Structure 1
Amino acid sequence: MSAFNGMIIGSLVGIIGTGMGGAATYFLKNPSNRFFSGIMGTAAGLMLSIVAFDLLPHAFDIAGLTLGTIGILMGAILISFFDMIIENMDIAGSFIKEGVLLGIAIALHNFPEGLAVGSGFMVSQSLGIDIALVIALHDFPEGLAMATPFSAGGIPPYKNVIYTVLAGIPTGIGALIGVVTGGISPYFIGLNLGIAGGAMLYVTCGDVIPEARNIYKGKISILGMILGFIGGIIITKYL
């Protein structure tokens, strides 16, 4: 797989996923917390399933348990560093400012997801497709979460689409790096998969699941996670 194709696929994954979330503001003028909770729970279950049953097993098979585990720690530490920066920002203020900060957070999170796509395609087309599909589904609620405060602040839907598409572009950059470094050595592929897996675990367990539970206290997020987890197993087995 060429580096150019890897970048294109990664870019499309991020752009389509977050862009669809932005486009949803044409139809969802005021999405309920229950809706957000359910769709975020489903996305979390999908991500956990793919990471546990597809992404990390490939990392360990290619690079070994030690290097794969080092990659997981590197990915988690990298995202935790960016999370600390974002948390230290003053998010009090207008809806527009909240949307901008969410956009920054989503863009940072999209980079390791792109890395997973690019590295996955270097292993096999099926793994790359599995990861790309799950990330596209995961990016939809992120794009919607980013666009909602923009809508509340008076930003029209077409601009929401533009802003969410921009937040998805780092996925393409991550995919390019995943393909390029994966071509250097198989160990780089395994390490990249471990880094992407660690980053995705951090985002899922540290951000997506707690947020899904916080915004709505009912059981919808738990049911969504279970369905998403089962869906991830099906995707892993048949795609």
Structure 2
Amino acid sequence: MLCSPFSQSCDAQRIAEAAIRQHVWRADELSRSRTLSASTGYECLDAELPDKGWPQSSLVELLVQQPGIGEMHLLRPALAALSKTRYVALIEPPHRPNAAACKFLGLTCSNILWIRAPTTANALWAAEQILRNGSCGAVLLWQKNIRTEALRRLNLAAQSTDTTFWLLRPLSAAADASPAPLRIALRPSAGGISAEVIKRRGPHHDQPLIIPLAKMPARQRFLDEQNAVLVQRSSPSTTTRVRQAALV
């Protein structure tokens, strides 16, 4: 049975529209990219991210109010999974990596690379080379001041590999322009950390997410010591009198 030219053109149009819809997203909907992603380990955060997790092959900016507020705890599930089979590069962290802390975070210490760079240019060069080489499962770069041109180079380098790339910057950098498709502001919160998605491929996110985090062993020990019952040691003379009274 022959089909009319009109019906054939309609079918072709429907096929073309279906193909176009796969590459178009509305501003009021979360975008879906073709890159892989790793779950953050927190359902509330996964639900607000376009790829339902930390995207690979992409620059992700974490804008931290101050170091040590729980940013590494936030990345704990993803880093623990990645470090089991691949290297994790830490470039210019604010503090020296601690084996006990890495163990608590579930990281495989033998797969942690600590890279110290004397200058910002050296740190950016190291990050770009690792990304282009694709030898690491994750790269974390700590930097305060980065030019827009350098951010573009890092973003392009991240797109050429399957590495998960986090750039940690001060919260004050939130006002600066950035090519990163995902930017999250992190602030301390009681019992956890506040995560505000300030840039994503999708609608604007209004309210910050309060993500509960596990306490560090040292912090828990400090709390236990604060709540411990105070025991006063008696003087030797008092102890002697108590013993003499007990013998009477």
With normalisation by structure 1, the TM-score equals: 0.29
More helix by share: 1
More strand by share: 2
Higher relative contact order (CA 8 A, sep 6+): 1
